[in-house]
Structure formats: structure tokens, C-alpha cells
Chain A
């Protein structure tokens, strides 16, 4: 809706691969490691995560609490809690430039403008003492130096675009005066204000009701269709993923355990964890029978088991699983599985 991306990256570094579409993804996370220093020791929250996102694509990052899915997103945005958080290794390339090597002022040019984020809890992400109009307008005033009046006019346009009824009247309302769904629309309005190339949505509908969730997912899909941005959808909800994702990365204990195109994962999961999650969904033909349940509990990041993090809960476990951590095996042109026994998992020979 506003001006298109400048041909040269805003921070002035020439971009060698620009225009050679197909060789360089829009965003590539490469062998990312994130650690947190805590009183009880170092927590390795992310251990060698790699994924890539292309324009117009929706990548779902699926995982439970503590799997590292949100920390990876915060590393991309550059909003990890300093000084506890450290990135000992890894690269985050955005259109070929490693964001981790940029100075903070160059990074700030990317954050919010070219890579934007929608947070789970809109009530705590919005500032309670400013009107929503001023918070949306701030995007234009800070990043583009727009005058107060113009910024306000564009805030109204955006609120219309995310379908907030009576946008002009509600400009001067405060966040608490909106419902949960409307607040999430305001967050989306702020995120898409500057036409970002990448939108990271961290559990954008988890706090919302089903019918409102449907509205928000439809809105996100529409924004994406119009602008061709790439979207990273972070969620624990297998239903939401199946509805919107093109490809999936499944995370467990700070690692990627499976990556694949969405249809492949749901048809033939190649990692015991993914398979267990899909089997544990209540389905109509299994009503009244016992649900399949993954035994045990997710690992404690302070005390990770040696070898495969999923081994203590895994029905496919063999002796070497508790000693050798499986790499992300490439098991097809578009998919990988971090399980020594992915062939057996695919065949469904047990479990």
C-alpha cells in the first residue's frame, strides 16, 4: 500500500544476490545457537537450527513450550534479552546479509520495517497509556519521519485495512477498550504498516476464540496474498499449521527434529515425535478408545539427556539413540528427519 522496498537495502550494504531470485532465500537461519546464562547454569535454548523462507511462503515452526521456537524468532528480530542471551554460533541471512554481523543502528533499520513481528499477547505488547492511533502512527513517524497528521491519516487507513469497524472514531481509544480480536488486529496493523518483507507471527491466535482465530488467520492470509511477504508462523497448534502452512519445521528441545512440506508431514511423519503428536489428536473414528499418548514429559533444558533429546520418550529407541545425537538426515529432496530410525518411522513398523 505504501512505497515498495528500495532496490538497495536500507542499511546501505550492497546485496550481491539481489535479482538472482531462486538462489538466495528471503531469510535463511543457518546453524543458529542461542544460550541463556542463568543462576543454575547455561541453558542451551537453541542448538543448531537452520531454516529458510522464500517470498510469499508460509513456514510454520511447530513446537511445545521450551522447544526454542520463540527464541529463534527473537534472535531473528534481534530482541533477545541482553545480557543473559548469547548467540555463540550461527548466521541469520536476510536477503544475503548476515543480520548478526550488523551494527545495532543498521539492525534497527531492518527491525519493524523489513522484518516485523506479531506477538501472542496483544494486551501486554501494546502500550496501555497511549492510544492505538498514536501507536500505529508511531511506526510512520519513527521510521519514515512522517508528520503527525499524515501519520494519523495512514493509521486510519491501516485500521480500515485490518477491518476495525469505525476506525476514525476508534483512533483515540486505548488498548483496553478493544476486544482481544481487535487488539490482535491492531498488532497486525502495526506489523504490516511499513510493508515488511518478512512477518513473524508468534502464536498470533493462541489467546483468541475459535471464530475470532478464523478471522485473524484469514486477515493474515489476505495481507500475505496482497504483499507477497514471507511469513513465519510459530505455533503449537497442529490444526492451524495444517490450515495455512506451506512447509513445516518441527522443534523439540532446541533442535529441529523434522522439516518437510506440509502435506508430507501430515501424510507420513518421519520423526517419532511428530508421529506421536499427530496420533494423539482425538479423531472421530477413535472416539471412546484410549488416545495415543506420548509418554513422559518434555526435556529440561538445564539437564538435557545425552544423544537424542526425544529418546527417553521414544517408542523407536535403540541403544545408540542415548549416546549419538542424530543429525538432521536428508531423507528426500524437500525433507529431513533427525532420527536414526526414520525409515522405520516412515514404514510405520512399530509405535
Chain B
């Protein structure tokens, strides 16, 4: 882990529970969905942290928490040393009575912090307003943060941004429907860069694009990182894309981080059974030796986050599960024989990924 002074993003024990209610008139809470349940990590300047996991594991909720779009139930997110999201005192006490109170951040403070953390959305077809021109879309952050750029300078800045992401600066007066999916995603990226943030949260930035276009957008993100020193939180389900762009990778399962380490450690020395199953199930674009590939096919679906299993959340689908897994929750920590953190009582390095 990096020294604190080096980190642009510090996430500590982040928790988000959504209430599960019943009844139309007299709503009463009957339970909670534990979407994100105790996640901690640091992100350094210029670094890319890949987050992989399947639907329902909480990775998109994590993105919203990082942006301050959802208020966490517990824990904290610090952007460049400033708090973006702290739980309100009362919420916090209900969940974890012992945690100290964290100041409530909103309004002007939140706005100031958000200048350093921006987001690129998954679907470029629905995340751009069809009634706004490209210039208005990319320049909208300046309306919200008028001090970021003087009024007379905005048009020039917008054009520079379009050029930076590989679009024609003369396109400012065109509308989103006049662009292809890949170009729209570039518009979304330009908007994310308008405030010159240090951190870009990318939630599945290429999964809605055609295969032949994905590489263009990945190259663009890599180039912007080199040129601008951006740090990325790169959330995706495509394991080979994540490996290509990430310095470190975190694997999520049912609201928990089950394994976190350098990309090479996660991909060639996975220690958590879930990571091993995930890697072995990913289709490999090479038919040679497909009959001999080791494949761990998990049974069943992930359990509901409203009622997660006791102890280790993966134990209901795990072939290594023993009594201790139901009784004691394995923490994310260094385990014997591994050089990175994993959350399994029986963590053991096992190479499952063919080296394509």
C-alpha cells in the first residue's frame, strides 16, 4: 500500500446498506440489502485500480459512493485528503455504535471535493442529453463550477478537450445522435476531464461498445493517463480488459473485497477460490488446448445480498468450505504463501489462467 501522502483516494471501511421495505401506505423496514459491506483501499496518483466482480457484487454502488452520489451507511471516502462521503452520525450509530462520528459533507464542500473526482458512465447512448449540443455537454461542468474556467475561455477549453479525446473541435454544435457509440464515449470522457480531476471513476466504460471500437477507447484512456497523470478506478467485468489497463486489481463478491493485489498476482497467482473460479470461467480467445483447460464451474447463483451467508459469503458455492467458514468471517489480509491480500481461510495460490 502506498504512503498516505501519496494517495489521491482513501477508502476506509465503506458500507452501504439499502433499506428493504414492505407495505404501500405504512412502509416498514423488513431488512437491509448489504450492497457494499466494509471496503477499504487506497489509490495513488497516476495509478489504475481495476475492480472486477459479477452483477450484484456492489461494484456500481461502490462507484456511486466514491462520487458522493450515494451517502454511505458507514466508513469514509477521502479525495486528495478531503472527505467526500462520510456517514451521518445517526446512521453510523445504528450500524456500528463504536465508530466515531464523521462530519456530514454536502453543498459547497462536496462540490469542491468533486472537482477532483469525475465519472465516465457505462452507456454512452443514455448518459448524454440528446437535446444538448456536444459543446454544452462537455462545457456543463463549467456551469456548475464557474470558478474552474472564466466564461470567455470556456469555448476554447471545450474545443481543446474534444481534440484531446480525438474528436474534431469543430463538432461543438452537433448533437449526440450524430455520433457513433465510440465517439459518444469520447464525449463522455471529455466531460469527465473538463474540471481537470485527479481521479476518473470508469464504470464499465467499454462494455456497451462494439468489439472493434473497445480497443480505441482503452488506448485513449491509457494515453490520457500518461499525459495527465490521472488515477483510474476502472470497474468492469471483462477480465482481459481489466488486466490490460490495471496496476492493481480488486475482486468483489457480494459486497466484500475478497482479493486485492497487483495485476500479475491476481491473474497468475490467485489465492481466493472465487477469483480462481472467475478466471477459469472466462472464455479464452484461443481454441488451442480448449479440451484440456481446467475449468471450475461454480454451481448455482450468488446468494441474495439481503440475506448473505454467515461467515464467508462465498462458502455456499465454495468447494473448500469447512465449518470454520460458516462461523468466522475471513478478513482481507496477507495469508501464508501469498504476497497479496485475500479473504479466505484456506487461501492457496493456484494458477488457473492460461497465459494468452
Chain A residues engaging chain B, CB cutoff 8 angstroms: 64-65, 165, 179-182, 209-215, 217-218, 236-243, 245, 262-263, 266-267, 273, 276-278, 280-284, 286-287, 290-295, 297-298, 313
Contact = CB atoms under 8 A, between A and B. Distances in A.
A239 B282 contact: yes
Given A209-B55, A242-B285, A280 B244 contact: no
Contacts of B277: 211
Interface string B260-278: 0001000100000000011
B243 interface: yes
A209 B54 contact: yes
Nearest to A286: B244
Main secondary structure, interface of A, reads: helix
A282 B244 contact: yes
B274 to A, nearest CB: 9
A65 B215 contact: no
B283 interface: yes
Considering residues A217, A263, A283, which has the most beta carbons from chain B within 10 angstroms of its beta carbon? A283
Interface string B184-228: 000000000000000000000000001111111011001000000
B356 interface: yes
Q: How large is the interface on B (under 10, 10 to 19, 20 to 34, 35 or more residues)?
A: 35 or more
B239 A297 contact: no
A295 B217 CA distance: 11
A266 B286 contact: yes
Contacts of B212: 64, 273, 276-277, 280, 293-294, 298, 313
Contacts of B216: 293-295
Contact of A280 (B215, B298, B300): B215
Given A210-B237, A239-B282, A282 B219 contact: no
B240 A215 contact: no
Interface stretch (B20-28, B128-136, B287-295): B287-295
B297 interface: yes
B219 A290 contact: yes
A297 B286 contact: no
B284 A239 contact: yes
Contact of A282 (B240, B282, B300, B355): B240
Given A64-B211, A280-B214, A294-B215, A214 B297 contact: yes
A287 B243 contact: yes
A64 B181 CA distance: 12
B305 interface: no
B308 to A, nearest CB: 16
Interface string B37-56: 00000000000000000110
B353 to A, nearest CB: 8
B323 interface: no
Interface string B232-256: 0000010111011100000000000
Contact of B222 (A267, A283, A290): A290
Contacts of B215: 280, 282, 291-294
A236 B283 CA distance: 13
A284 B355 contact: yes
Contacts of A287: 243-244, 263
Nearest to B247: A288
Given A210-B54, A276-B212, A242 B284 contact: yes
Contact of A215 (B210, B267, B298): B298
B285 A266 contact: yes
A179 B301 contact: yes
A70 B284 CA distance: 23
Considering residues A243, A286, A292, which has the most beta carbons from chain B within 10 angstroms of its beta carbon? A243
